[in-house]
Structure 1
Amino acid sequence: MEARDTRWISVTEVARHLGVARDTVYRWIDSRGLPAHRVGRFWKFQLSEVDAWVKSGEAEVPNNADLGDLTRRKR
């Protein structure tokens, strides 16, 4: 295993790696099982676990129906 695979990274680094907002990372921890480890009051991640999770397809949005609230205009 490479040193890169065992390095612990932050929410900000995971968000940057995945190209999403920090809020999305927190939401994925709660609702999609993004592999994260609580260290005190911080979330930490192993890049190898995050990449395996993405490859498993868990990060994908199932269909546009799940985006209903995001795609509708608020009046």
Structure 2
Amino acid sequence: MDKWMSMKQVCAYLGISRDTAMKWIKNKEMRAHQIDRIWRFDKDEIDEWMRNNGKSPD
């Protein structure tokens, strides 16, 4: 899998809906990078976030 994932890919990877992903992004719980109108997710950041039980390391 590539380092960068799309919204569809991260939702499938985590087994969540797009609405849940957007809620997590809005609440700054999950890191995401918006390029123009497209959301991208760094797989390493998502894995680290999951290892921290969904808590941001910041």
TM-score, with normalisation over the residues of structure 2?
A: 0.81
Q: 1:7 aligns with which of 3, 7, 21?
A: 3
Runs of 4+ that moved beyond 4 A: none
Q: Deviation digits for residues 44-64 of structure 1, max 9, x if unmatched?
A: 0111100101111126xxxxx
CA RMSD of superposed structures (Å)? 1.6
Count of aligned positions: 55
Which amino acid letter does the alignment assign opposite residue 14 of structure 2? L
Identity %, equivalent residues: 33
1:50 paired with 2:46, answer yes
Which amino acid letter does the alignment assign opposite residue 36 of structure 1? A
User: Which 5+ residue runs of structure 2 have no aligned equivalent?
Assistant: none
- Ranked by relative contact order (alpha carbons within 8 Å, sequence separation 6 or more), the top structure is 2
User: Which 5+ residue runs of structure 1 have no aligned equivalent?
Assistant: 60-75
Structure 2: how far apart are the matches of 1:8 and 1:15?
13
TM-score, with normalisation over the residues of structure 1?
A: 0.65
